[in-house]
Structure 1
């Protein structure tokens, strides 16, 4: 294999890794944002999976982890890893936070850090309250 083919393969590999991390980040974001809506709906519709202890503890743990990141002003590890892959692939980096970047890119809505923090605070409070009010089935 020639040098240029090896370099192109490496770039494709790093782009692939960046896309995998992006997909994981989107899945985690949807999980965090949708669970506070799905739990009461699922209780009302008698969906047993919404009270699954593994699911509920995973959600609460992820919410608390993100809260810790926000409080300490640390970037999300997924964004750090994706940016690392983007550097290796020669792709543009996020100029803002993950959530900010994609809300602006998709919906063309200017998004500031305080907006993310406010949304996350509301989701976090709702998630913690919901966990204790409608906890997982043992």
Structure 2
């Protein structure tokens, strides 16, 4: 029997990896904001970590700017290119692609996503006001 890694074309495997990473980034951003809000109200100190918060904000800013330009997330384009290189089409999908795609991709008009990304970005900015990261918080208190 041929080992699994010899049966999977390299571009298809890379596309699956990109899809999983994409899903994890979505989970990081959505879960991170939820944990920031809950943790801020409960007094968890780690939610004020400036590296964590800046990374989240940067990811959402990139997605929002891409959406306002009428484009998808760069990871989506990368995955599609890898799938095409593997000779895959919409029905030739792996288990990982099927389930992760069903969790993070929805069929809706582009404006719905742009509005959603904008609202989410505003929520992130509000979280910065309500629970400022440590670096910004120290600076704010030094000014007083």
Q: Same fold (TM over 0.5)?
A: yes
Give me the whole-angstrom Cα distance separating, in 1, the residues matched to 2:107 and 2:67.
20
Deviations along 1:42-76, one digit per CA (max 9) or x if unpaired, are 12333322111100010111111111111111222
Decide whether aligned partners of structure 1 residues 105 and 26 sit closer, same or farther in structure 2, where only a CA change above 3 A counts. closer
Decide whether aligned partners of structure 1 residues 56 and 83 sit closer, same or farther in structure 2, where only a CA change above 3 A counts. same
Q: Residues 36 and 127 of structure 1 are in contact (CA less than 8 Å); yes or no, is this contact kept in structure 2?
A: yes
Deviations along 1:25-48, one digit per CA (max 9) or x if unpaired, are 111112222222211211233332
Q: Equivalent residue for 1:70?
A: 67
Alignment of 1:31-42 (within 5 A): 31-42=28-39
Q: Equivalent residue for 1:13?
A: 10
TM-score (norm: length of structure 1) = 0.75
Decide whether aligned partners of structure 1 residues 10 and 75 sit closer, same or farther in structure 2, where only a CA change above 3 A counts. farther
Q: Residues 64 and 114 of structure 2 are in contact (CA less than 8 Å); yes or no, is this contact kept in structure 1?
A: no
Deviations along 1:85-108, one digit per CA (max 9) or x if unpaired, are 101112225xxxxxxxx899459x
Runs (4+) of structure 1 moved beyond 6 Å?
none
Q: Equivalent residue for 1:92?
A: 89
Aligned length: 125
Give the gaps of 5 or more residues in structure 1. 94-101
Secondary structure of the structure 2 residue equivalent to 1:91? coil
Q: Residues 60 and 131 of structure 1 are in contact (CA less than 8 Å); yes or no, is this contact kept in structure 2?
A: no
Give me the whole-angstrom Cα distance separating, in 1, the residues matched to 2:113 and 2:70.
13
Q: Residues 104 and 111 of structure 1 are in contact (CA less than 8 Å); yes or no, is this contact kept in structure 2?
A: no
Q: What root-mean-square deviation, in Å, do the aligned CA atoms of Structure 1 and Structure 2 show?
A: 3.0
Q: Equivalent residue for 1:82?
A: 79
